[in-house]
Structure 1
């Protein structure tokens, strides 16, 4: 492949990706139309197209996945109640923390729109890859299978967040403008079924993809697909399949391990990472750190604390004094002012030391522990939890809670999930919702309504598509 031809393909891909995210569901056929003959001519150009989607996941316009102010980690993190805006009157963050999102013409509504539309933009791109690979005859079977598996994973990954945040959502499985612009919402159960089907198929296509290219854990392999499917099965209460899949991932000790040093977990290509998103490499002008570091770290400037988000003190008080997560993953600006400190490099102008963590091994132990506990396999569930507690320098469950029963163990697992996964991808918010505990946790908030478990469908999208109904309570 001549360099000029690859650059031409990259230009086409880039132009296509720059389509406005917020107009995704109702856009016209784009001017930068990528055809199968142009982009899926051979292995190299097809691979470049899929790599473009990975790059797009961190793009400024891709709010839901880029770790920045309108991302799942931030907005759903606020809804989960472990982090809060430093000022409850913050016009964007306050409504998510207070479960009082207005649907139009305010910063919170704009953030909600960005969350929704950016996920659908990624789905559109994944659909375009699936269609392009199906139409192309120039891509070898091995490359086609791998790229198809990756595209299906990315589509399932995006729908996972949409269905958890909004419930019923349009299920768009093609790039057909005429269908997509008037698509109604699909029942959540059907969306979940499609997520499972996509991941099962992705696992099938990726069965030969067990490693990482050049050691970079930024492309999906078969174990990343299994890991997400293990989570999906947990949410769907398919305990046995969840246990089976997480066990397959955990067994890959030659590739993955629980790192003893917590300060190494979120480094680029750490051995705990199943899949990471790399920040776009910067220049002498733009820093190249993770967005999570930029948005979460509270820093001092002119003697003042800067940063809009803090960890709640009542959450800090839940950590045992010896817990290494308190010392290594919680930053302290001053007494009573704490912040997530999993990512430590707030601004840098050289090679990126940290990547945004999406899937990691510790979650798989927590998934398997919960799946086993629900099957009353208490002894092996405790072994899994103790893997996480041991890393945190905490005593085993059997020592702290001898004779613990199933209900007590499930509560303990939820507590460990809270302390292990805080400020990551909305885990706490989703855990409360899927276990039905949201009403009990948030009813002390006078603004809470039980319908607040789902965000509103963005009103701007409903204006464009009259077939989009609104969630109850909005």
Structure 2
């Protein structure tokens, strides 16, 4: 049973424009003949609604395009506007210069992916939460468990929205008719509400669930993240500790799963094998979303698209030349040509590409860190010329390594990347042609992040030995050299190594920027947050593209301090005619702001 209700703006979710702001579709569009009053009256009906909530998280990690109202692969934007990566695709399709391209009225299909995804997720969660009191259940425990998971999903999306957009409206009830009087609530008010909800949730979420469902350990992890965002550091430590110690989870330090007997591989590789992510023997995954070939309810019709989005555009023969002047690469080859790079890498388009920080700096002195070995990291020196002479290539250079000096576009066509989370070969959809990335389950929360959350909370409390111990627990598993006296930068370096495509990088950087300002550290303050903040300073220090305003194609990579928060879409502000939604400082419209609800 597929149920999805869209109350366009009426539920402050999917907002559809038909040509202009003046044409806003406000009528509900049930994609099923089932109505809430008929479906959400009992436990089974609300459990079906939770399936929709879980599916919403899948969409973050899969797909490629923005079409048919579906927000696909928004997580790439969490990286593209961070210290780790930038957009590699042309600026005609994507954002390079945030000052001119990231505005309240332009590029809706780009930065709005999370805005739409978040509000849809909140609406689905509110549908569950609001219908629990009047539904029938097998027991009080079953009732509270469903309410707890509804709280979890709402907290998940609000956590992201307040760290992407800052102050936003707080919607706690199901909205079944058009509503035009939303008011902006402060980020702190929202986080405090989410904390209260999650304190209830961690009492009632089940300890043991089927893979793909939300358990109590995931609830503790979510609560720890919210505590950290609020600056409730000891509470964050307590929640993270319960997550680590109380529910039978542990870091995977020994080989396991389908390739456990392949001696050349390692446990980090095991962790991300598609067959291992949901395996019962994997005790590190706290919450996973399941994406399986041919199964109803997937987040994408065509697999993950990770190979397409994150692999360099190595096959662009016009940019990748041989030293004797021939086109060196192509995706139009047969496996029988003997050097089929396509089968290994797919036809990447470099939607995002790494900064020098993530490609080089963070791996300096990495020693035997397994996250950077050939099992789990693809060094660009492994790219080779694959265009046969019969197809216009070079007989001399065919099958030999690509020479960087003869690559005219090294932004898109020549860089290194982490294979273990990108090269997904599984399932028939990737056989033949130019594979884009197969179906795979994905970690939403993994215990490795819990340790790093706790490490950061210890750091804020100036307990550097305990912070160092937690970071070194992660590094020891990776067989990386241990650190001493870790700093906040060390912790975020470790997050970069460990949590690529798992953490929400921009949101986590912004979260720390708020904390730095609230705590008055290093000269930061809330009063001038949009003019001076830790997020911007770190990106400028680490991301060479934004730091130097590197010119690529027809414009430069430009970021300003106010981009610590993304703009609120102007059409949402204008259509909310009976209330007031604030704009973030730095963007047109902020001069009309009023004090948010506290």
TM bucket by the smaller chain?
0.7 to 0.9
* Structure exhibiting the larger radius of gyration computed from Cα positions: 2
Instruction: Tell me if the contact between 1:145 and 1:205 (Cα under 8 Å) persists in the aligned partners.
Output: yes
Instruction: Tell me if the contact between 2:63 and 2:303 (Cα under 8 Å) persists in the aligned partners.
Output: no
Aligned residue among 417, 432, 435 for 1:339: 417
Per-residue Cα deviation, 1:372-418 (whole angstroms, up to 9, x for no partner) = 23333333322211111112212222xxx4xx3xxx53332232122
Inter-partner Cα distance in structure 2 for 1:99 and 1:193: 34
1:229 aligns with 2:223: yes
Per-residue Cα deviation, 1:290-316 (whole angstroms, up to 9, x for no partner) = 344553234765626632222223322
3-state SS in 2 of match to 1:325: helix
Which residue number in structure 2 is paired with residue 75 of structure 1?
A: 77
Inter-partner Cα distance in structure 1 for 2:489 and 2:81: 20
Q: Alpha-carbon deviation of 1:464? A: 2.0
Which shows bigger deviation, 307-316 or 425-434? 425-434
Inter-partner Cα distance in structure 2 for 1:299 and 1:348: 23
3-state SS in 2 of match to 1:80: coil
Which shows bigger deviation, 246-255 or 426-435? 426-435
Per-residue Cα deviation, 1:421-461 (whole angstroms, up to 9, x for no partner) = 23334225522552442232345456432211100111232
Which residue number in structure 1 is paired with residue 209 of structure 2?
A: 212
Q: Alpha-carbon deviation of 1:104? A: 2.3
Q: Note the 1:412-427 alignment, pairs <5 A.
A: 412-427=490-505
- Listed as ranges, the gaps of 5+ residues in structure 2 are 17-23, 66-71, 255-266, 316-328, 332-346, 384-403, 405-413, 431-437, 514-532, 541-546, 550-557, 588-598
Inter-partner Cα distance in structure 2 for 1:313 and 1:189: 35
Instruction: Tell me if the contact between 2:562 and 2:585 (Cα under 8 Å) persists in the aligned partners.
Output: yes
Inter-partner Cα distance in structure 1 for 2:510 and 2:118: 22
Aligned residue among 9, 14, 39 for 2:3: 14
3-state SS in 1 of match to 2:132: helix
1:193 aligns with 2:192: yes
Instruction: Tell me if the contact between 1:290 and 1:343 (Cα under 8 Å) persists in the aligned partners.
Output: no
Q: Alpha-carbon deviation of 1:156? A: 0.5
Figure out how many residues of one structure are paired with residues of the other and give that number: 442
Decide whether aligned partners of structure 1 residues 120 and 460 sit closer, same or farther in structure 2, where only a CA change above 3 A counts.
Answer: same
Inter-partner Cα distance in structure 2 for 1:117 and 1:194: 21
Which residue number in structure 2 is paired with residue 4 of structure 1?
A: none
Q: Alpha-carbon deviation of 1:262? A: 0.8
Aligned residue among 582, 589, 598 for 1:469: 582
Q: Alpha-carbon deviation of 1:211? A: 1.2
3-state SS in 2 of match to 1:16: coil
Instruction: Tell me if the contact between 1:258 and 1:361 (Cα under 8 Å) persists in the aligned partners.
Output: no
Higher helix fraction (1 or 2): 1
Which residue number in structure 2 is paired with residue 272 of structure 1?
A: 284
Q: Alpha-carbon deviation of 1:355? A: 1.0
Inter-partner Cα distance in structure 2 for 1:243 and 1:22: 36
1:263 aligns with 2:376: no
**TM-score normalised to the size of structure 1?**
0.82
**TM-score normalised to the size of structure 2?**
0.66
Inter-partner Cα distance in structure 1 for 2:301 and 2:73: 19
1:49 aligns with 2:49: yes
3-state SS in 1 of match to 2:443: strand
Which residue number in structure 1 is paired with residue 15 of structure 2?
A: 23
Q: Note the 1:33-432 alignment, pairs <5 A.
A: 38-59=38-59, 64=60, 66=62, 68=64, 71-87=73-89, 89=91, 91-95=93-97, 100-105=101-106, 108-177=107-176, 180-206=179-205, 209-213=206-210, 216=211, 218-252=212-246, 254-259=248-253, 261-266=267-272, 267=274, 268-269=277-278, 270-279=282-291, 281-282=293-294, 289-298=303-312, 303=330, 306-308=348-350, 309-318=352-361, 319=363, 320-327=366-373, 328-333=375-380, 334=383, 336-341=414-419, 342-346=421-425, 348-349=427-428, 354-397=440-483, 401=484, 404=485, 408-427=486-505, 430-431=508-509
- Listed as ranges, the gaps of 5+ residues in structure 1 are 1-9
Instruction: Tell me if the contact between 1:68 and 1:74 (Cα under 8 Å) persists in the aligned partners.
Output: no
Q: Alpha-carbon deviation of 1:88? A: 6.1
Inter-partner Cα distance in structure 1 for 2:175 and 2:89: 44
Per-residue Cα deviation, 1:324-383 (whole angstroms, up to 9, x for no partner) = 212244333546512343243156338977312110000111111122233333333222
Inter-partner Cα distance in structure 2 for 1:99 and 1:238: 37
3-state SS in 2 of match to 1:331: coil
Which shows bigger deviation, 153-162 or 386-395? 386-395
Per-residue Cα deviation, 1:236-259 (whole angstroms, up to 9, x for no partner) = 221111111111111147333234
Inter-partner Cα distance in structure 2 for 1:442 and 1:49: 39
Instruction: Tell me if the contact between 1:67 and 1:356 (Cα under 8 Å) persists in the aligned partners.
Output: no
Inter-partner Cα distance in structure 2 for 1:471 and 1:34: 39
